[in-house]
Chains A and B, each alone.
Chain A
Amino acid sequence: MNLAAATNENLAHISNVLVYSAMAVYTLAFLAHITEWVFGSRSAVGRTAAAITTQPAAVTVTARAESAKGGGTAVLERPKVITRAAPGSRDVPDGPGAAGGSEKGDLYGRIAVSLTVLAFALHAGGVLTRALSVQRAPWGNMYEFSTTFAMVAVGVYLGLLVAKKNIRWLGLPLVTTVLLDLGLAVSVLYTASDQLVPALHSYWLWIHVSCAIFCGAAMYVAAVSTLFFLFRDRYEARLEAGESDAGRSTFARAMDNALSRLPSAATLDKFGYRINATVFPLWTFTIIAGSIWAEAAWGRYWGWDPKEVWSFITWVAYACFLHARATAGWKGRKAAYLALLAFSCYLFNYYGVNLLLNGKHSYAGV
């Protein structure tokens, strides 16, 4: 018994060391990303990106990489599929990426991604050892929830990179917020490892909370994309209106330079929408799973507990966003504001409700 306790304490200690190491490596990744952006701003491509983006691209060509099945004698030439941008959206190609075509910048970008992978491994190790030390799912309190949340957010980002999505631009904001989140977790929210109160003993904990964490992480990625859409959209609108740089501050020009390297507003918008639309059913399921658990634990599946209320508000807000996009023709900026509002409801449900309003969902020692 005592021996086991000692092992557990050891594991908890290892977990802390791993989380701190992950933070150190994330910091390096952060610096590498900064360097990438800085080199990008100096590159020739970066400087001319603004000029490029004003020229509408009539068509974009998508050819599938996969080869034709049923091998014939001769290699068939494949027809190309030509796509058109949706009407009403600007025909603007995506920016060249953070590195702006600069080779050095690109190198630093790759280094940053490699460092992020390393940090992610350390981070995951930290979460895993924490789970082993408490012999349960590592999300019994806010410290554990925050560390797991950040890990999953990075996981989603790396997963999208592996799926060859053009999202390296997300690296810098993501690593920045992950550092903030982890910093908050280890300083303010830290709770020594321990077991769960009986109310949290249920396999629904695994289902409900893991879904909630995953949804949050994915919706966070979508929210960043949506926020960047707003900036990039304004930037494109300025280009379209033909406004000159004259009179703009150096800072504003630097911002423009950075914005010119982002994907186009249409791409960012679509990216955010797709993630939100994909995650919405899962979020619905999270709430349903929570109600089933509440029914087992508290005798009612829905009782307007603050946590339940805010999950519901978050759900309705996302439903609003999807509705706005699908039917009411509220595209673009207005829908983007709705999406950001919906995500802030999620955030409030986490920080606000846990720290300000206490209901039945009190965590063991915050």
Chain B
Amino acid sequence: MAKTDSTASPQTREPRQDEEDDGTAGAPLSTAPTEEGGQAMPGSFGGVRAPGFLGALAWTAREAIGWVRWFWRQLTSMRVALILLFLLSLATIPGSLVPQTSVDAVKAQGWKDQHKTLAPIYDKLGLFHVYSSVWFSAIYILLFVSLIGCIVPRTWQFVGQLRSRPPGAPRHLTRMPAHATWHTDAEPEQVLAAAAKVLRARRFRTEARSEAVAAEKGYLREAGNLLFHISLIVLLVAFASGQLWKSEGGKLIVEGDGFSNTLTQYDDFKSGSLFDPEDLAPFGFRLDGFTGTYERTGPQKGTPREYAAHVTYWDGSDGAEHKTDIKVNEPLETAGSKVYLIGHGYSPIVTVRDGKGDIAYRGAVGALPLDSNVTETTVLKVPDYRDKNGNKDQLGFKGFFVPTLDLRTGTMFSQFPGLDNPVLVLTAYHGSLGIDSGMPQNVYQLDLSKMKQFKDKDGSAFKSMLKAGDTMTLPDGAGTLKFEGIKNWATFQVSHQPGNETALAGAAAALLGLAGSLFIQRRRIWVRAVEGEDGRTVVELAGLGRSESARLPEELADIAVALQDAAPLVTPADPAEPSEGARA
């Protein structure tokens, strides 16, 4: 900043006595702190140490306060702010290179399994959760403390500047970064009055003094800058509170089924540390149907084109039902929560009859997509089953569901995500499913340790390939499984994240402030009119802005032109006139 300010004293090479005069003309053009050159040195701050306990106490206290002050001044200095900002960008990098548990837990676990030696070290360093790690938090907290320590004094300073008047003209206007001068026949007073009028009309804060008019404009730059930095704090607070109180859960729903927003209904659930399950908003919805369309031709055949979940929802306040579609970019918003469409697949619907011909199970088979063409692994557990003799047993089915089977390709994998030629391939087991042990089980996995596969007459594993409507008959009258049809399922994510509106407001304010800070120039203009040696009035015009101002000379020229009405330029009779600017 010191460099910028020093535009006020351009020629450091030839110091003159009125140098400081020029200095005051430019000093408070911003509230940015000056370069920290002569900073307090760390060391002993306590001065004389009086004897005795009290003396020691006083000395220690002074020493401590001194150190705290020194630390605070360091922390809020621009240099440290810059270093912290730089550190922040460096510290953000590892989180993009190492898989993050919070972003993709499966991928992070996979990485850990692959790198047995590195994983524990990375774990200790917090590299699997960089953005909540101690060191990352330390950097941004320090940065924000620094930011607050910077904003507060600058705000006071700015308020002071708002109340002050533009400083008087420096003695040598020709030393300013931009200036113009000419001679005129108008009286100095007239010129100055006209100048004040012109400058006021351009919304400069104008102060007429005896020989010169001083004017300043662009205070909004500072206001914008302060607004920007304050908005950063608002953004951080909004983000942090969102993290602490958020909740997010996933739910798979088969066509025709519903969901109501209570903790027990979720398949998986995550929440911030201050979240209370009581806060879950009362609402629910039912999946009435699902439409998925896919690219039919071309190299991207099979790429999804449109997904729409048709739902009926209600919220706790009145319970009235509404119909809507949830699409990929169009979540359902209700009761302060949002419901997003995350995934889609198919559920084969089957009816299982036991050895007695009674219905043992009717409903959907658990199905998990394996690839983008929705080849699914399927698992069905039938715990309430009796064999043909009426003895209690359990059945397990395992296999694949293929929405578009094309045997010409020689693979069992689906060739297209739509239901062009759907088949269900299953094999069956009986024995103990292991459900009774009380351990929670993955619905997509069959524990085969206590189960026996059904065999064909020739002794090979029993399996069949079913189309919708087909029935598979288990060997030895053990029962049947009828493939009734296919339903869509969709997975939804229900999120509740407070602070979104605050974050958006903060972001908008930051943008506004930034634009003000970068596009508005704070500048001063002085007009001086005095009687010259030849009796004519000499008009001098000069401008001073922050170093990057390109428009200042143009603005000065505009003002000079505007002044021509009141102070028309005359070419001096004496051609040897040494004035730099007057030879128009």
Q: Contact residues of A with B, CB < 8 Å?
A: 5, 59, 62-64, 68-70, 76-84, 86-88, 192, 194-195, 197-199, 201-202, 204, 270, 273-274, 277-278, 280-281, 284-285, 288, 291-293, 295-306, 309-310, 312-313, 316-317, 319-320, 322-331, 345, 353, 357, 359, 364-365
- Sampled A-B contacts (21; CB under 8 Å): A62-B553, A78-B560, A79-B584, A82-B174, A82-B581, A83-B177, A87-B10, A88-B6, A198-B328, A202-B329, A281-B518, A288-B508, A298-B340, A299-B340, A304-B102, A316-B89, A320-B85, A320-B89, A326-B1, A327-B32, A327-B82
Query: Is the CB of B303 closer than 8 A to any CB of chain A?
Result: yes
Q: State in angstroms the CA–CA spacing of A195 and B340 once bound together.
A: 22
Task: Tell me if B574 is interfacial: C-beta within 8 Å of chain A.
Answer: no
Asked if B554 and A198 make an inter-chain contact with CB atoms under 8 angstroms apart, the answer reads no
By the criterion CB–CB under 8 Å, are A301 and B503 in contact? Answer: yes
CB atoms of A304 and B295 under 8 A apart = no
Chain B, interface residues (CB within 8 Å), range? 35 or more
Pair B131/A198 contact, Cβ less than 8 Å: no
Given A84-B178, A301-B503, A79:B560 Cβ within 8 A: yes
A78 contacts which of B298, B327, B508, B561 (Cβ < 8 Å)?
B561
Q: A309-B92, A327-B78 are in contact. List 15 more A-B contacts (CB 8 A).
A: A63-B557, A77-B571, A80-B180, A80-B583, A82-B178, A88-B6, A198-B328, A201-B306, A278-B518, A299-B331, A301-B503, A303-B103, A323-B85, A327-B1, A329-B35
B contacts with A: majority SS: mixed
Interface residues of B in 66-98 (CB under 8 A from A): 78-79, 81-82, 85-86, 88-89, 92-93, 95-97
Pair B515/A199 contact, Cβ less than 8 Å = no
Within the complex, the shortest CB–CB distance from B7 to chain A, in Å, comes to 6
- A364 engages B82 (CB within 8 Å): no
Question: How many A-B pairs fall under 8 Å by CB?
Answer: 219
The CA-CA distance from A300 to B92 in the complex, in Å, is 19
B interface residues (Cβ-Cβ under 8 A, vs A): 1-4, 6-7, 9-12, 32-33, 35, 78-79, 81-82, 85-86, 88-89, 92-93, 95-97, 100, 102-103, 130-131, 174-182, 239, 248, 295, 297-300, 303-307, 327-331, 338, 340, 493, 495, 497, 500, 503-504, 507-508, 510-511, 514-515, 518-519, 541, 547-548, 550, 553-554, 556-558, 560-561, 564-565, 568-569, 571, 580-584
Tell me if A299 and B180 are in contact (CB < 8 A). no
Contact A84 B10 (CB under 8 A): yes
Cβ–Cβ contact B82 & A320, under 8 A: yes
Q: Are B6 and A87 in contact (CB under 8 A)?
A: yes
- Which A residues lie within 8 Å of B95 (CB)? 304, 309
**Closest beta carbon of chain A to B207's beta carbon, Å:** 22
CB distance from B241 to the nearest CB of A (A): 13
Chain A's nearest CB lies how many Å from the CB of B229?
11
Q: Across the interface, do A359 and B510 meet the contact criterion of CB distance under 8 Å?
A: no
Check if B565 sits within 8 Å of A70, measured CB to CB. Answer: yes
In whole angstroms, what is the CA distance A198 to B338 when docked?
A: 19
A312–B503 CB distance below 8 A: no
Please name all residues of chain A whose beta carbon is closer than 8 Å to the beta carbon of B79 when the two chains form the complex: 328
- A327 to chain B: which residues have CB within 8 Å? 1, 32-33, 78, 82
